[in-house]
Every structure is written in structure tokens, then in C-alpha cells.
A and B are shown apart, each in its own frame.
Chain A
Amino acid sequence: MRARRPAEEGNVLICALCTILIISLIGANVLSNCTTRFNVSSSQVRSWKESLFAAEAGGDIAYAQVRKTVMDPTHAFTGWTNSGAQHVSPLTTFGSNGLATTTVVDLFYYDPITGNPWYRSRSKGTAPVNGVSRTGMDDRMGAGSRGDSLLRKIDFRTDHFVAIYGPNGDGVGKTLVAVPNPQITRRIEQISAPVTPFEAAIKCTGSFYGLGSAAQVDSYNSKNGPYYFAANNPADPHFSDSRSGSVEIGTPVATVNGMLYGNISTNGGTLRPSSSITGTIDNNVPFTCPPFLMPTNMPAPQLAPTSVTSTVSITPPAAATAAVPTYYLFSALSGNLTINAVGAAQTYVAIHVTNDMTAHIDVKPNVHVKIFFDGNMDVKGRDIENETGLAANLQYYAISPADPNATQYIHIAPPGDFAATFYAPSADVVLNGNPDLTGAVVCKTFYGNGNTSWHYDRSLDTEGDAVDYRIVSYVEDIR
């Protein structure tokens, strides 16, 4: 027996298949669009931002190492690959998204006046881009216009930067380097500049007492010529340089006497405006001064002399430079030391005294001296003989004791006027008498009871050994 078969059966199947096909096409189109959008919003944009975070983290790591060159020189760039003035960091990976960063730091410049090095940090940050590479980028914008691929340069299969610009971006060593997974890399360059110590006339991290009731602190700029009093004459062409005799105190303990032509700050003090202070008063300025360590970049010391306990006159064998001065290592400095220039040349000398500093120093014109001492300093004002009167030409640095509880002092007694700078963040400074003083002091505590005339030289702003670093420039290599 034969069953009857309706003729319409085939149409149903075709209709069903067509419906499925159309719905599938719509679904595929939706999925395709969604995947691209999702890739852009959740993965590519995120990776693009995170790669900058990674690069900046690399910059921070490098900056910490640069700061160590003055704060902890023996451990600076430890674990890095060091070759001369260039330091290459190991690869650092961090974060749950597998970010990676490397940095190359190079000492690219010496300040010709202070000899302080400047560092350039080139950091590379990489973030993986999740998702399969075939989904591509969201470039839909307009005819002939590219969208995201102009901004977010994703390395889907090879590192585009190395291929086009070379690994260092200088066109050298261009090659195809495959990447294991899609990734975005961003590069930044930061410049770390040395921070010099003499930004105020007096800066102390501890208590402050001073000066005498008839004392005055003002300023001038030695680049404009010798000092003269201009702080009360607004019509004077150098008036603008005359009211920077500032005092910075890192505690609330501040007894301020005399006339101050400048600003003053304390950390929690109760200073109030008065006619004796011409500048601003801020009682909420905390700061610290890290211990000062002997610089490690000195050249080999001269063979003689190795101590000065009588009258000694030295003329360095060469004028040298601020970055590489003629270096003397003294076991004692208690006599009379005269330092001569090499002919008429600007002559740079550094002295390290591994004991107390009690000598009379005579610094001749054209000589720039830095004296580093491990112990205490006890002299009269007349023992600080700086013939040009430029404070920057005679700089004293008190090396902080290894034991932070050990005391260190600098005592300067009358008679005698002098011009010098003192960087002694661990020392108690006592200044007696009524000297006419040109220079600046950074110390732990300050006590001065005399009617001192203190002139801060504004050119000291850029003088002195680096005591810290700050980042002064940021640029991104957007290629």
C-alpha cells in the first residue's frame, strides 16, 4: 500500500533554512560589530592607557635610582646593566594584566658650573592586548580616513617601532621582531635635573634661634655686581633681587629676631606678620633634608699633601673642571691653607677632610673650592678668607655621621666677616658675633645671637653639589 505524499513538504524545509540563514547573517553581523567595539573599548583602549602607566612606572623606577646617586651612591643602579654612563634596567613585570617596563638611563650632561650630572631616562612600557588579532581595530570613520590605528599603534604580529625606527628609535638596527601576542608599547623620555642645596639664606630642619635684634637678612645677585643695600629702594634696578633673604625652618620652634627682607616658613610655628618681615609667612611647610654622603664620583686624590697642620700653599697641577676637580684627601686640616689658581684659569678643587675642620682657608681669585669634612668645624670668621667675596667659591659640606644619633657641629666665632656656603644637614650651627656674611646655610639647628648682616646671593640658587633630583622634562615618543 502506498501512502499519499503532499507536494508542499520541500517548501517548509527551504523556508526554515532560509530563515535560519537570514537570522544567522544578522547575528554574525551583530557579533562582528560587537566584537570589534568590545575589543576597542575593553581591550585596546585599556591596553593603550596601561602601556603608558607601565612606561611611567619604569620612569619612576629609574628616577628612584637617579636619586640614589646622591642619597645612597653605593647602591645606585644595583642590579642594572651598567656600561659607563649608561644604565639599563632589568625587565620589570607587574600588575594582574602582565604589564612590563624597561628603562635606559644615561648621564648625558654635566652642568659646567657645578659639575652636577643630569640624567635622561627612556622608558618603555608594554601592555598585552587581549583578544584575537584578526578582529583588528575600529577604523570606521569616513572614506579615506583612519580612526584608531592612527593613535593606538598595536603590534599584532611584529614590533612596528623596531621595524621602522630601530630599537632605540634612531633608525639603527631596524628589523622585524615578532611579538608573541598582540601588544601596545609606549615610550617616554624624562630628564632628571640636580637639585642644589642653597635655595634660601638659612634653612634648618630643627629649631631656629636668631639672629640679633639689630641683625638683617637681605639678598643680592652677584651676577649683577658686588653687594649693596637696595632692599628699601623700590626704584633701584636691583631691588627685585634684594628681598630674597628667606629663612626656612622645619619645626615649630622658631625665635626670629632682626629684619628679614624675604620669606619665612615654619612647620607648625606661630609666626605672625610684622614690620620686620617683608615677605610671606607660611607656618605650614614641612620639609626634610636627607643625610649628606661623600660623593663617589671624585677622581683619584693628589699624592701630596695628605694633611695640613701648618702653613701650606697649594697650586693644583691643572685647572680641572667642575665635574672633575683636582681632588685632595686630607687626614687633618688645622693649619693655614692657601689655594691658588692655575694661572688665570678658573680652577676647580675638592678637598675631603677625614677629621675636624679647624683651618684658616685662603681662597684666591678664580678658585672654586668644595671642602667636605667628616667631623666638626670650629673656626673664627676671619679663618674663612674668600678673596672674591663670592660665596659660591668656597663651599663647605659636612658629611653626615654614620650614626644618626651622633652630634655634629659648626661653630663660627668672631671676629671676621666672610663669604661661604655651608651644607650640613646633620650639624648644629652656632654663629656668634656680628659678622657681615655673604652666603647660605643648610643645617639641622641654627643658633645665632649676633647683629649679623647676612646677604644671600641669589646666584647660589644654581650652585652647590646635587642633594636631590627632580624631573624637569617629560616627553612621549608618539611614533
Chain B
Amino acid sequence: MRLKTSLEPSAFTLSEMMLAIAISGVVFGATLTSSTSLQKSFNAIDNYFGTHMQQIRIVDYLSRDVKRGLIVTTSADLQTVTITVPNYIIQAGDPEAVANPALVGTPRTPTMSYTPSGWQVNYGNTTSTVVYSISGMSILRTENGAVTTIASSTDQLVPQTTDVELANTEYTQTSITFQPIFTSGGAVAERSGTTVYSTAYLRNKRRG
């Protein structure tokens, strides 16, 4: 048996269509807006934490070099730090390396000397110099002329370091801020709220 089908045309009325389009438009607009907001928000948070990781990296680099350092000086604007560190590893061109090239890349045996301020342990006749500085959006670490970019961000990372000399030692205090990309009227708290602080002491007796 065959069912009888209706031949009457079926469709939405104009008012139904308009209502459906209106609702769809609202839903689509809301989805689009929230997606964009979500994407912006995610991007901002990702950027925030990415830059925060770079803050930690700068602090860790600085602390490592200060701990093994002999002298630390900071510039007047607190944005350039110069650290003198022992020449622990024999480099090509060093006197030991010239005498025996096989020693390149090996740890150096220290020599001792007595100075008016007590015993001094020296790794080689010279020391290395490590400089931390800002170049544009990047934080640079330069060791004996070799430049390494240790942090780079469009978030205006600003490290500031002071060094405080004590009788035999010295310590540095570093604070690093950045400007998050999501803003709220340019309030001061936007930058200050991102501050990471660090203090590091020389492990060696201060030489300068």
C-alpha cells in the first residue's frame, strides 16, 4: 500500500524566517565576540606568563653570575650590570692552551697568592667580564664580547639592579617589571604589579 503524500507546499512564514535570522545573528555575533575576546584574553595571558618566564630567566642568569663573581658594578641608571668572574675554563689563546692545546675546554687549576686582605685564589692571570644590558626590546648578556640574548619581549621588560658593598662581600638587588599587553586605563599598578625581586650575594670575597 502506498501512503498518500500531501501536495500542499510547506515552508516557514516570513515572520518565522526573520525571527530565526535575528536569533541566529545574535547567537553568531555573541559567539564571534566571545571568541575574539577569548582569543585576546588567551593571547594576553600567554604573553604575560611568557614574559614572566623571561623575568625568571633574567634573575637566574644574574644570580648565577653574581654568586660566582668577584666584583659587581651597576651603572647609574641601574640597567647595566658588569660582573667580573673567574676564568674557570681554559679558552683557546690562554697561555695554558698555547702551551698545550689539549687543555682547551678543561677546568683550570687555581693558584694562590697572599694579599694584604688575605689569601686570594686565582684561576689564571686574568678574569672574565660579564655585562648585562638592555638593547631595544632585548636583554643582552655579553661575556668577553660574546653576546647572548637572554630575554626578548615587546612587553617593555625593565630590569633594575643595585649593588650594595659590605666589608667583605657584596650583594645585588634586582627588580624586573614589564607592561602587560592588556591594560586598564594605564594605571601604575599594571607595571608595578608584575615586579619580580631577587637578591644575590657574592660567594667569593669582594675584590673591588
Q: Which residues of A are in contact with B by a Cβ distance under 8 Å?
A: 1-2, 26, 30, 33, 37, 40-41, 45, 48-49, 108-109, 111, 118, 120, 138, 140-142, 145, 147-148, 150-152, 165, 169-171, 189, 191, 193, 462, 472-479
Q: Are A33 and B46 in contact (CB under 8 A)?
A: yes
Q: In the complex, which of the residues B60, B121, B151 contacts A45, with contact meaning CB atoms closer than 8 Å?
A: B60
- The answer to whether the Cβ of B149 comes within 8 Å of any Cβ in the partner chain is yes
0/1 interface trace, chain B 141-167, chain A, CB 8 Å (1 if under): 000000011111000000000000000
Q: In the complex, which of the residues A37, A49, A165 contacts B53, with contact meaning CB atoms closer than 8 Å?
A: A37
User: How distant is the Cα of A160 from the Cα of B121 in the complex, in angstroms?
Assistant: 29
B residues less than 8 Å from A169 (CB atoms): 106-107
Q: Are A141 and B56 in contact (CB under 8 A)?
A: no
User: How distant is the Cα of A342 from the Cα of B118 in the complex, in angstroms?
Assistant: 32
Q: Are B53 and A478 in contact (CB under 8 A)?
A: no
- A189 to chain B minimum Cβ distance, whole angstroms, is 7
- B7 to chain A minimum Cβ distance, whole angstroms, is 13
User: How distant is the Cα of A165 from the Cα of B61 in the complex, in angstroms?
Assistant: 22
- A191 to chain B minimum Cβ distance, whole angstroms, is 5
19 contacts between A and B (CB under 8 A): A41-B52, A41-B56, A45-B56, A111-B112, A138-B53, A145-B149, A150-B150, A152-B60, A171-B106, A189-B107, A193-B119, A193-B121, A472-B120, A472-B204, A474-B67, A474-B203, A475-B86, A475-B123, A477-B88
- A460 to chain B minimum Cβ distance, whole angstroms, is 13
User: How distant is the Cα of A151 from the Cα of B54 in the complex, in angstroms?
Assistant: 11
User: How distant is the Cα of A464 from the Cα of B114 in the complex, in angstroms?
Assistant: 15
Q: Are A477 and B107 in contact (CB under 8 A)?
A: yes
Q: Are B121 and A142 in contact (CB under 8 A)?
A: no
Q: Are B57 and A473 in contact (CB under 8 A)?
A: no
User: How distant is the Cα of A30 from the Cα of B149 in the complex, in angstroms?
Assistant: 27
Q: In the complex, which of the residues A152, A472, A476 contacts B68, with contact meaning CB atoms closer than 8 Å?
A: A476
- Return the chain B residue nearest A140 by Cβ: B50
0/1 interface trace, chain B 62-88, chain A, CB 8 Å (1 if under): 001001100000000000000001101
Q: Are B49 and A474 in contact (CB under 8 A)?
A: no
Count of B interface residues, CB-CB < 8 Å: 43
User: How distant is the Cα of A268 from the Cα of B54 in the complex, in angstroms?
Assistant: 50
Contacts A33-B46, A151-B150, A475-B68 known; list 13 others, CB within 8 Å.
A37-B50, A41-B52, A141-B149, A141-B151, A142-B149, A148-B53, A151-B64, A169-B107, A462-B114, A472-B118, A475-B204, A476-B67, A479-B89
- Return the chain B residue nearest A166 by Cβ: B106
Which B residues from 1 to 37 make CB contacts under 8 A with A?
1, 3
A residues less than 8 Å from B88 (CB atoms): 189, 475, 477
A residues less than 8 Å from B121 (CB atoms): 191, 193, 472-473
B residues less than 8 Å from A145 (CB atoms): 149, 152
Q: Counting chain B CB atoms within 10 Å of each CB, which of A48, A118, A473, A478 scores highest?
A: A473
Q: Are B89 and A147 in contact (CB under 8 A)?
A: no
B residues less than 8 Å from A40 (CB atoms): 53
- The answer to whether the Cβ of B182 comes within 8 Å of any Cβ in the partner chain is no
- A153 to chain B minimum Cβ distance, whole angstroms, is 12
- Return the chain B residue nearest A3 by Cβ: B3
B residues less than 8 Å from A49 (CB atoms): 60
- A144 to chain B minimum Cβ distance, whole angstroms, is 9
B residues less than 8 Å from A462 (CB atoms): 114
- B103 to chain A minimum Cβ distance, whole angstroms, is 9
A residues less than 8 Å from B107 (CB atoms): 169-170, 189, 477
User: How distant is the Cα of A170 from the Cα of B108 in the complex, in angstroms?
Assistant: 10
Q: Are A473 and B204 in contact (CB under 8 A)?
A: yes
